[in-house]
Every structure is written in C-alpha cells, then in structure tokens.
Amino acid sequence: MSVERMTNAMTIDVEDYFQVSAFSPYINRTEWNSKECRVEHNVNTILELLDQHNAKATFFTLGWVAERYPQLVRQIVSQGHELASHGYGHERASDQTPESFFTDINLAKILLEDLSGSEVCGYRAPSFSIGSGNLWAYEGLESAGYRYSSSVYPIAHDHYGMPNSPRFAYRVRPGLIEIPITTVRLFWRNFPSSGGGYFRLLPYALSHWMLNRVNIKDNEPGIFYFHPWEIDTEQPRVEGINKKTRFRHYVNISKMQARLNQLLTDFDWDRMDQVFLTQMNDQDI
C-alpha cells in the first residue's frame, strides 16, 4: 500500500545579489540603483522550473524589487503562486526601531497589494531577523494586517537564530502565527534543514534525508527557501569581501539548479498559505 506524500512549502526570497545582508559592509544602499539587476531573469527561470514540476510556491518579495518590476509580481500571481512580503528595503528587523519597522513592512504590503491586485498575508524578515530581542515586531505585523510570519530560525547562528523557539508553527498574537524555518532535531540540538547556503554546501542526499525525517518522524510539513541569485552563475562577483562571505555566497552555485530540480521531483510542494494557514485554522492554534 502506498503512503501519501506530505506537501511541503516552497519559498523564494526575492532579492538581488547586491542586496544580501552579508554584502552590506561592501555595497552601500546608495549604489543599488547603479548595479546590474539580475532578479527578473532569475525569477522567470524559477517560474519555468516550478511550472515544469506543477509546483506552487510563495515568493517573499522586496518592495524595492516590486516597485521596479511590477510585471514580475503580476506574473507570480497570475501563475498561481503566493505573493508575500520581504519588507521594502531589505533592512534587518533587529536593526530597526518599532516605528521604522512598521513603516517598512506597511509600505511593502501596500505596494505589493496595489501592484498585484491580491492580498498579501505573509511576511519574512530579511536574514530571519526576528528573535528574542525584538519580539515587538509581531505587534507591527499584526497592526499592518499580516496573518503569518516566517521570520524565526530556531538555530544558533552568527547572524541570526532563536534556538529556543518552537520548531513548528505557533500563534504569537491573535490572528498572527509564526512559522519557523524548518530544522531537524538531533542530539538535543536543532540543525538547519531548510535550504539556502546549507542546501548548496551539504550533499543532496543529506538534505533529502533531513526533510524526509521532518515529514515522517515529526509528521510536519517542512519549509524550503532559496534566493534567485543562488541559481545565477553569471552574477557579477563582488570584490573585496572576506573569505567567509565569499564561501557562503558562492559555494556550489553551479550545482543549485540541478539540485532544485531533483528536490522538486522528490517531494510535493505548495504555497505557504495553502500548507500552513488552512492547517492552523483547522487546529485553531
């Protein structure tokens, strides 16, 4: 007797290579408009890949990108994917005041909804930058009208992380849930198993095993995330960056698209709202 496969959530953080938080010491925001934008071409490649596998996804999109490529956000929605918010200017939530954070997320939501004609109910903080030190961010998200956040990574990391967070979706305020980035629990510790640089660095078989373990052992859907620049082998190389940043950003980019193709074959994928919001409403968390 065959076992029905669990549906996981595929997510894409729509930002360009020069907007990566690790590059902020090397690329000033005032330079963004002068950089070669690659995001439109890369997102179109991703849309084609998803279509080939009949998979749906959530695109956490910067307002800065949407403002410059309005046809791209309309295309995302017209192809049946979820449009969600990555904030406007890719500023880490932990680097903002409550007032500036609200301004950023509210502007992004209004802009995305006006351009796409669809409701935006999800938010992901740049660099998973909601943690124990800025839980006030949830008040801003609730006030702006978001229904879920996917901004906490329950791991220890040098740039982000809240290891003591629950590993799976939980309610943070009335009408607002947090859906943490997926981890696998081994040896009393959470290990990243959700995509990004880890997916490029680790052997594919290990990434497959970890997501499968979450589906089977924890009986929970997982979240996978990546960025459009991670499939772009032709992106301009940023000069002067340190060795750690260079390694994290460029490791195995040439292998990423083939691995994504395999991942889309091996698991079933859908939008965040379809995978989690219906489940949360049923459970009334």
- DSSP-assigned letter for residue 223: E
Structural contact between residues 184 and 224, judged by C-beta atoms closer than 8 angstroms: no
Segment 162-190 mean pLDDT = 90
Tens of pLDDT, residue by residue over 58-68, are 999 999 999 99
pLDDT for the residue numbered 154: 86
134 part of a folded domain = yes
The tokens of 208 are what? 């497959």
54: which residues sit within 8 A by CB, 6+ positions away? none
Residue 40 corresponds to which amino acid?
E
Residue 2 lies in a domain: no
Question: What's the pLDDT score for residue 2?
Answer: 40
In Å, what is the CA distance from 258 to each residue of 9, 57, 193, 209, 232? 19, 18, 18, 17, 12
The pLDDT tens digits of the residues spanning 191-212 come to: 878 888 889 999 999 999 999 9
- Could you tell me if residue 264 is inside a domain? yes
Q: Is residue 98 part of a domain?
A: yes
Q: What is the CATH number of the domain that holds 218?
A: 3.20.20.370
| Number of domains forming the structure of the chain | 1
What is the residue range of 207's domain? 7-283
Assessment of whether the complete model's pTM goes beyond 0.85: yes
Amino acid at 192: P
**Residue 1 is assigned to a structural domain of this protein:** no
**Structural domain contains residue 120:** yes
Write the single-letter amino acid at 159. H
pLDDT digits (tens, 9 = 90+) for 216-257: 999 999 999 999 999 999 999 999 999 999 999 999 999 999
Question: Would you say residue 48 lies in a domain?
Answer: yes
Closest CA to 116 of 79, 65, 70: 70
In this structure, is residue 123 part of a structural domain?
yes
**Token pair 């904030």 is at which residue?**
87
Whole-number average pLDDT of the chain = 93
